[in-house]
Structure 1
Amino acid sequence: MTSATPVVIYPPDEGGGRRVRVAERILGRAYSTSDVARLLQEVGLQSWDEMDVVRSALIEWRGGGPGVWTR
């Protein structure tokens, strides 16, 4: 993954998890911005942290921004 690859964070599910997708690949489910950062680190963005997740224009937040983790 490159830092130019779009990331989609889907709306929270019933349990408060949000699917995280990079390109056509679902990376997993996140329950916080730190989970999103960890998933992105696992696919090559090792230097990313929670603040990168919150600020990045490469991330498309669906169903609420980085502060929304419940329905």
Structure 2
Amino acid sequence: MTWQTPIVVHPPAADGGRRVTLRGQDVGAAHDDRELADLLRSAGLGEADIALDDPHLVEWRGAPHGWPTT
């Protein structure tokens, strides 16, 4: 079994949102760091587990940590 980060932030969609999965389960889409943290808290993570720049916790796919500007 290979090790995977528990949080995956997928590539930006056309509307600028990014789909988020937690341990392989879809938890929604976020458009900024605040929305992302809210999604993760709603999914049961504590503040210590929401370190968005920690590559051991969060994998940013398709684009680095950030959000498209409109």
TM-score bin (small chain): 0.7 to 0.9
**Cα RMSD for the two superposed structures:** 2.4
* Structure 1 runs not aligned, ≥5 long: none
Percent identity of the aligned residues? 38
Going by fraction, where is strand more abundant, 1 or 2? 2
What's the CA shift for 1:46? Answer: 3.4
Q: Helix, strand or coil for the counterpart of 2:21? A: strand
Residue 40 (1) aligns with residue 40 (2): yes
Q: CA deviation at 1:25?
A: 0.9
Q: Which structure has the higher relative contact order (CA within 8 Å, separation 6+)?
A: 1
Aligned residues: 66
Q: Deviations over 1:8-31 (max 9, x none)?
A: 100000000100001221000100
Q: Which runs of 4+ in 1 moved over 4 A?
A: none
| 1:48–1:37 Cα change, 3 Å | farther
Q: Please, what TM-score do these two structures have when normalized by structure 2? A: 0.75
Which structure: larger Rg?
Answer: 2
